[in-house]
Chains A and B, each alone.
Chain A
């Protein structure tokens, strides 16, 4: 079971690859849209890459609730457990 920090770090790599956001900026309290300037299409790409990376399913209706990096990390941790 990966730690919260490991999930955050892997997710940060994905956000960096898709949207070009510096890895160190992708912290748990950051909002994808407000703080990291990730648009809705990039969010779709991030969710897809996260599903592949962590072996979880994130339905469309759930992904709308993932406002912050912390929301996404918590969802992935729950879904993977």
Chain B
């Protein structure tokens, strides 16, 4: 008996991207009311001038659906044609069920295969790699991938090393069959030896529910802690901590090597590259990677972090959408994407912009 196996499209491509940016704009003047810092310090250390913080109604579900609807519309397909939904997030605070299932249903992709992954700030590139493989293997035809975070739910707004960086938002893409090569080989991996560089401080089983800490708003929570510094609010709600300098060094140099390998794997030289979209972690990391990669001056560089902060898994699709909408980049251009973050995990690939 010969077992039948699946076979899919020869190539896959990004067919459309879409983003959702929370309404509330938080500028550096507000941030410096929470941390001992200055607008100038924040801008020179990170490039960030403002970021978006989600309001209570801008949930993981709501932002994901809004971003994915735009991506599906731009891809020119119907929601019912989507047969797989993958969500990457580290801030969906309900572990089970995966939020991908209810997102698929609300999108109108009822019945699609749906699951969540945790690859932190590398999540989008991890999902593109998986979607590319699913489409080419014939397991799926149209995959929706969504990077979505409410990082402010796990931000200590008095932490000088993270409060000005973390932000909220969602970015989605549709990946489907292509007649021509449009997603290069992924170069990815992890380094558990450095797991302690970016972590959640407390496990959930010791956490005090958010509503007991002043509500689903980081400012109200910080106020509750300030009112009662010895109380339970201060004690055990987890936050994300980051050891900035070693992360900066790893991201700037080890990741430049990974990015170069992704270009090599795709057979693209720096001169052929048109757009560089690294995870929007910090403009200084982007600058250091750009120098280390020796990219030509004409390459368009994503700087979405300036206005939207670091949105982890959402940052790359949000940055792509910004470049396409502003006209700085255009459909059909060759772009290098690379994500890197808590784990440590990383993934990079060359893509053709949708």
Which residues does A use to contact B, with CB under 8 Å? 39-41, 44-45, 47-48, 60
Contact = CB atoms under 8 A, between A and B. Distances in A.
Contacts of A47: 249
Report the interface size class on chain B: 10 to 19
Given A45-B252, A48-B253, A60 B246 contact: yes
A interface majority secondary structure: helix
B33 to A, nearest CB: 23
20 contacts: A39-B44, A39-B45, A40-B244, A40-B245, A41-B45, A41-B245, A41-B248, A41-B284, A44-B245, A44-B248, A44-B249, A44-B252, A45-B252, A45-B288, A47-B249, A48-B249, A48-B252, A48-B253, A60-B245, A60-B246
A48 B44 CA distance: 20
B interface majority secondary structure: helix
A44 B252 CA distance: 10
Nearest to A52: B253
A44 B245 CA distance: 7
Residue from A39, A40, A44 having most chain B Cβ neighbours under 10 A: A44
Contacts of B244: 40
A16 to B, nearest CB: 14
A13 B334 CA distance: 34
Given A40-B244, A40-B245, A44-B245, 12 more contacts: A39-B45, A41-B245, A41-B248, A41-B284, A44-B248, A44-B249, A44-B252, A47-B249, A48-B249, A48-B252, A60-B245, A60-B246
A62 B244 CA distance: 16
Contacts of B249: 44, 47-48
A47 B244 CA distance: 15
Contacts of A40: 244-245
B289 to A, nearest CB: 11
Closest 7 CB pairs of A and B: A44-B249, A41-B284, A44-B245, A44-B248, A41-B248, A48-B253, A60-B246
Contacts of A48: 249, 252-253
Interface string B232-263: 00000000000011101100110000000000
